[in-house]
Structure 1
Amino acid sequence: MTPKPWRRTGNRTVHRDRWVHLRAESWETGDGAVLDPWYMLDWPDVVNVVALTPDSRLVLVRQFRPGLGAIALELPGGMVEPGEADPAEAARREFTEETGYDAPSFHLVTSLRNDPAHAGNRVHVVLAEGAVPTSGQRLDHGEEIAVEVLPLASVLAGLAEGLIGNANHVGSLLLALRERGRIGA
């Protein structure tokens, strides 16, 4: 069976603020089934930064995540601000704010969709090489972030055990490392 395109028959705003736009849409599937409501989230694009130090360590952040209800180890990153057209520059801004590190090279690896069934935003995977501490953190209101610099081999070994529990971050890490030949295809 070949899927048929769906047709949107309605679209209404449920909630909108500076962080998220929640819409309830009405859809008719290619076979005529009506799906109403079908919830969609519009939020800004985000950047995930895979940052390697000159001695092959990975710069990570540890912070509380309400959805998890616990502190999590993650890649640095965050939202692309309005007016930021270059994901690599947005990644540099987020990375230096969260970690106090900078790098001479920020390279866009790929741009993927976060959840194409219910969200329209993109996740930009950016590789930063040669990361070194250059300043203190410049955290936003409400951010409490600890910086951890771990050997790349240790991080890779811990992925299957959930060392980094965010699947989006695990995928970003593996794609960036594969592009640079740090892991096999």
Structure 2
Amino acid sequence: MSREETVYTWDGPPRISLTRRDVSLPSGRTYLAHQLNGGDGTGVVIIGRCGQSLLFVESLRPLVDAAVLELPRGFADAAESTPEETAAREFLEETGLELHSPTEIGRYWTDTGIYPAEVAVITGQCDADAAPATTDGETIRTRWIPKSDIPHLIQTGQLRDAHTLSSLTLWQTSRRRFLPAEEFTAHKYPRAGFNPDALRDELDAATATEPRDPYA
């Protein structure tokens, strides 16, 4: 089989298909590659901010048999032309709040081995005191989480959704966000001769052109 073959399709929403084709590697090895395709465009994950906190949702995920704490996310509708449009709609549907000044900060591939969907990470401001509108019922509840609590939630496995972790990494590395270097690393990666001041100097040099405020 040299051309792509469709194994399965579902019209959605979201639209899903599974295809397969023969692939040849530079080493000469060949294998049958399967590719999962979903949605009608770029997916989005939304980091909604208010002061020192981010807005998360709890969603029931039957495939892992758990209620999962994660950032709001979703697929584009056919009528939407930008990820920012998609983010504003999905955020309102999942949280009941409006997302102000949505801005894309980066993209990643979901899984380069079988599901190479591109996902845009969008940040924006929202009002924690606003009365939320009715949601679409896909989430259980919303939770405001202080930025300083995020490293602990990741370490303890309370945040383990890959979309959420990837998005937080993009956001964290766009500027230092959660904690000062010595607080984030000294008690988590202890080793002989560890010097948090030296690490801070390295980070400062690498981000010399960026604003110093880690909570901007």
Alpha-carbon distance in structure 2 between the residues aligned to 1:70 and 1:175: 26
Q: Which residue of 2 aligns with 1:150?
A: 145
Cα gap change, 1:33 to 1:178, in 2 (>3 Å): closer
Could you tell me which of 65, 76, 90 is aligned with 1:94? 90
% identical aligned pairs: 24
Q: Give the TM-score normalised by structure 2.
A: 0.73
Corresponding residue of 2:190: none
Shift of 1:181: 4.0
Whether the 8 Å contact between 1:106 and 1:127 is mirrored in structure 2 is: yes
User: Is the 1:9–1:28 contact (alpha carbons within 8 Å) kept by the matching residues of 2?
Assistant: no
Is there any run of 5+ residues in structure 1 with no aligned partner, and where? 1-7
Tell me the matched-pair count.
174
Question: Which residue in the other structure is 1:160 paired with?
Answer: 155
1:18-74 deviation line (CA, Å, top 9, x unaligned): 2311001111222322212x1101112311111111x21110000111221111100
User: Considering only CA atoms, is the larger Rg found in Structure 1 or Structure 2?
Assistant: 2
- Of 34, 37, 43 in structure 2, the residue corresponding to residue 39 of structure 1 is 34
Distance 1:39 1:173 in 2: 29
8 Å CA contact retained: 1:39, 1:118? yes
- Point out the structure with the larger strand share: 1
Q: 1-side partners of 2:79 and 2:99: how far apart? A: 22
The structure with more helix, counted as a fraction of residues:
2
* Counterparts of 1:30 and 1:10, CA distance in 2: 19
Deviations 1:126-152 (A, max 9, x none): 111244335323306xx2431111212
Q: Name the CA distance, whole Å, in 2 between partners of 1:165 and 1:144.
A: 17
Find the aligned partners of 2:127 and 2:169 in 1 and give their Cα distance: 18
Residue 25 and residue 149 in structure 1: after superposition, are their counterparts in 2 closer, same or farther (change >3 A)? same
Partner residue in 1 for 2:47:
50
RCO higher in structure (CA 8 A, sep ≥6): 1
- Residues of 2 paired with 1:128 and 1:93: CA distance? 13
Runs of at least 4 residues off by over 3 Å: 130-135
Alignment TM-score, normalising by the size of structure 1: 0.84
RMSD value, Cα: 2.0
- Whether 2:110 is the aligned partner of 1:114: answer yes
Letter in 1 for 2:146: P
For 2:30, give the aligned amino acid.
Answer: V
